[in-house]
């Protein structure tokens, strides 16, 4: 282990020991809940059965939505994958630590991750599926950055960031036969790769450990085959667990097997593959929930579901069949269609069943919510967080957030304050204003109509920008620790 990680581990340990000694938490005398975070890849706001899709079949997500809380305005913290994943892992905007877009930056060792936070209070941790927060090897040329000397600084695998068990890829793989290069009709297949030959992205379980078996067929099933033994083992040992499951579905290349295409046989071949891969993934979510019930841990497990951003492509054509359900923009855009994504939270007996939440929430909220569930004082980490605890919102105790949602990506800037949203395409020099309650498609710019609202929100975004840039300069890491 590198020296910085040893120092970091000692620091985290001292923080939590001090916390336990000083506060004598009640959590020490009651069973801690298991935590599962599921994220899909490029699944749009409209890409679920429960949200009224005309063709797509997602019975297990529909059941989860019926038995849990649905966030009708849930947002990814960015319009592409890596930054959003960073927000989940830290509760902080990814530009605070240099993850600007896909294949940009990495989780820095100074950051405190979900895995590290929960391990210090007795959890076993596992990360499964896509990682995309740094490279997994410095020795093997693979994926987008792995093994290339110019990217050695971005080596940041999950096993160095708080995860006991890993089964991960650096970046994308095909949604069927994930290690094999598919036909180019599946979309986003490099001309440098030969169809039917290796895709040149591997599943890794540790330093130098590449998986070679049980990698055929549906990629979501391949992932879940590793998740379930991890959960079974933790349950057998009566140890609380954190399981992060980041499916590749429905990111390009998109393809699936005949049994998943057949329910959509009257649609186009592209639609059959796109809908089929989501139905295959949904089947694995059902398998996961059934396992929790069989093990008798379902009522002591908090389950979250979301997507990392809106749907790929400029429109629904080819294998980019994802839908925003009429929202403006798609992946890479900070308009609603690029960042409003499915959001579900299920915790049987602990949070309401069938509740529809209208308050805007986003992926940065997971970290503080889990900290609150585990009675962890985040003030001890001595740095700014962008998320809030979701529990008061899902319980009905709070109708509004005490912190607004701020975004910054690729010269776009956004602040969401309840029903109002400001949007900039020039990194905050000029802004549009929308009332999302009346105009979710962002068709009417109200900047000239409500100049006072615009002025107040722009000032708040600029204030947030100062904090974000201070973090990016490393100021969060130089503060004295308690």
DSSP letter for each residue of 139-193: SS-BTTTBT-GGGGGGB--GGGTT-SEEEEESS---SBSTTB---GGGS---TTS
Q: pLDDT (tens digit, 0 to 9) for every residue of the chain, 482 residues total? A: 565 555 565 555 555 544 444 343 334 435 899 999 999 999 999 999 999 999 999 999 999 999 999 999 999 999 999 999 999 999 999 999 999 999 999 999 999 999 999 999 999 999 999 999 999 999 999 999 999 999 999 999 999 999 999 999 999 999 999 999 999 999 999 999 999 999 999 999 999 999 999 999 999 999 999 999 999 999 999 999 999 999 999 999 999 999 999 999 999 999 999 999 999 999 999 999 999 999 999 999 999 999 999 999 999 999 999 999 999 999 999 999 999 999 999 999 999 999 999 999 999 999 999 999 999 999 999 999 999 999 999 998 888 999 999 999 999 999 999 999 999 999 999 999 999 999 999 999 999 999 999 999 999 999 999 999 999 999 999 864 43
Q: Residue 140 and residue 119: Cα distance in Å, rounded?
A: 30
Contact 313, 320 (CB under 8 A): yes
What is the CB-side half-sphere exposure of residue 424 using CA atoms within 13 A? Answer: 21
CB burial string 387-396: b at 16+ within 10 A, e below: bbbbbbbbee
pTM of the shown model: 0.94
């Amino acid at each position: 282990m590198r020296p910085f990680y040893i120092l970091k581990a000692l620091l985290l340990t001292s923080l939590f020991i001090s916390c336990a000694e000083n506060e004598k938490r009640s959590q020490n005398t009651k069973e801690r809940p298991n935590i599962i975070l599921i994220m899909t890849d490029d699944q749009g706001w409209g890409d679920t059965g429960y949200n009224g899709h005309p063709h797509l079949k997602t019975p297990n997500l529909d059941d989860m939505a019926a038995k849990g809380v649905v966030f009708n305005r849930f947002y990814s913290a960015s319009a592409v994958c890596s930054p959003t994943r960073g927000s989940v892992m830290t509760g902080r905007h990814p530009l605070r630590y240099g993850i600007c877009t896909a294949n940009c930056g990495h989780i820095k060792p100074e950051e405190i991750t979900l895995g590290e936070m929960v391990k210090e209070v007795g959890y076993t941790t596992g990360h499964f599926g896509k990682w995309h927060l740094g490279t997994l090897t410095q020795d093997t040329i693979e994926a987008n950055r792995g093994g290339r000397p110019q990217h050695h600084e971005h080596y940041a695998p999950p096993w160095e960031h708080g995860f006991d068990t890993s089964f991960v890829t650096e970046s994308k793989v095909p949604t069927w036969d994930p290690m094999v290069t598919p036909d180019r009709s599946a979309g986003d297949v490099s001309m440098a790769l030969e169809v039917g030959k290796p895709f040149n992205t591997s599943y890794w379980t540790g330093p130098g450990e590449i998986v070679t078996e049980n990698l055929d067929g549906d990629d979501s099933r391949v992932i879940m085959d590793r998740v379930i033994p991890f959960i079974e083992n933790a349950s057998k040992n009566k140890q609380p667990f954190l399981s992060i499951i980041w499916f590749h579905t429905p990111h390009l290349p998109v393809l699936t097997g005949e049994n998943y295409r057949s329910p959509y046989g009257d649609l186009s071949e592209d639609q059959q593959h796109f809908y089929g891969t989501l139905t295959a993934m949904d089947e694995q979510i059902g398998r996961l929930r059934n396992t929790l019930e069989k093990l008798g841990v379902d009522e002591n497990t908090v389950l979250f579901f979301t997507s990392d951003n809106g749907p790929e492509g400029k429109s629904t054509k080819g294998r980019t069949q994802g839908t925003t359900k009429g929202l403006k923009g798609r992946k890479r855009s900070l308009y609603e269609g690029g960042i409003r994504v499915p959001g579900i939270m299920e915790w049987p007996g602990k949070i309401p069943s069938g509740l529809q939440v209208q308050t805007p929430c986003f992926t940065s909220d997971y970290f503080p919510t889990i900290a609150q569930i585990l009675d962890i004082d985040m003030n001890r980490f001595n740095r700014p967080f962008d998320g809030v605890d979701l529990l008061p919102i899902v319980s009905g105790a709070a109708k509004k957030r005490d912190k607004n949602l701020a975004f910054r990506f690729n010269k776009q800037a956004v602040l969401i304050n309840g029903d109002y949203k400001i949007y900039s395409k020039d990194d905050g020099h000029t802004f549009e204003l929308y009332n999302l309650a009346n105009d979710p498609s962002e068709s009417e710019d109200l900047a000239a109509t409500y100049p006072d609202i615009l002025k107040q929100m722009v000032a708040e975004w600029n204030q947030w920008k100062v904090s974000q840039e201070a973090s990016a300069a490393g100021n969060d890491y130089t503060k004295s620790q308690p």
